[in-house]
Amino acid sequence: MSENKSHLVSREWILEEFCAWRRFFLAKRAYALYNKNMEITEKQKEILRFIETFHSKEGGPPSLREICRGLGLASSGSLLKPLRALEAKGYLVRNPGKNRRWQLANRQSYAAVPLVGEIAAGFPILAQQNVEEYLPVDPSLFGTHEVFALRVRGDSMKDECIRDGDLAILKPQEDAESGEIVAVLVQGVESEATLKTLRRKNGDIELHPANPSYQVLRFSGPERAQVKILGKLVGIIRRPGA
């Protein structure tokens, strides 16, 4: 009997192995982009975010004067060093002799995904008030639809291979099917979204964790109006080193 028991594999071990392989195939390319983004300075991030936003709105790169104006700088002198650093790291390419010389490198290879932090009441989920920063993510991983990111806090979804510090990639939508993993905001209670499995039973809304240490949240009658669905989970990017 003891010999047979030695060959048994624990449920926890199977779950960990499944999580490891699932994450490896889903996010291998995204890890490199995420790590690369972390290596640039805050000033460089600010400049890169402005150029990306300008390009998305105007259909082309900004001039040095427009970058200065957008960042509240008096002159372009302080821009040259961080712009050249971004060029050296492969984020920008320079077209000498052109007014709008600083362009995004390999623009089609990544998309700027907004990372949402605390959510201001009365504003849409992707309003500038809610966005902490923009992350470069390979769009082929999560489709062509608009997405946003939330940083996972805590271990309430660990049995779905979603861990503390991971980035949850979500498609913005205000409704979802029962059984789907969604980001929700419990209005009047929290200013940060929580990730849970949505279930509907007898007209009630239930938010299920994927960890037996946490309780199911139930909302009945008028309480259902407190639950605001922000988006449906379409992918996960594991935090570096996890």
Catalytic site residues?
156, 196
Q: Can you give the C-alpha Rg of the chain in angstroms? A: 22
Gap between the Cα atoms of 177 and 205, Å rounded = 11
Q: Are strands 194-201 and 131-137 parallel, antiparallel or unpaired?
A: unpaired
The tally of CA atoms less than 13 A away on the side-chain side of residue 51 is: 26
DSSP annotation string for 17-76:
HHHHHHHHHHHHHHHHHHHHHHTS-HHHHHHHHHHHHHHHHHSSPPPHHHHHHHHT-S-S
147 contacts 113 by C-beta, under 8 angstroms: yes
Are the beta carbons of 126 and 114 closer than 8 angstroms? yes
In 3-state terms, the chain is what percent helix, strand and coil (to 5)? 35, 25, 40
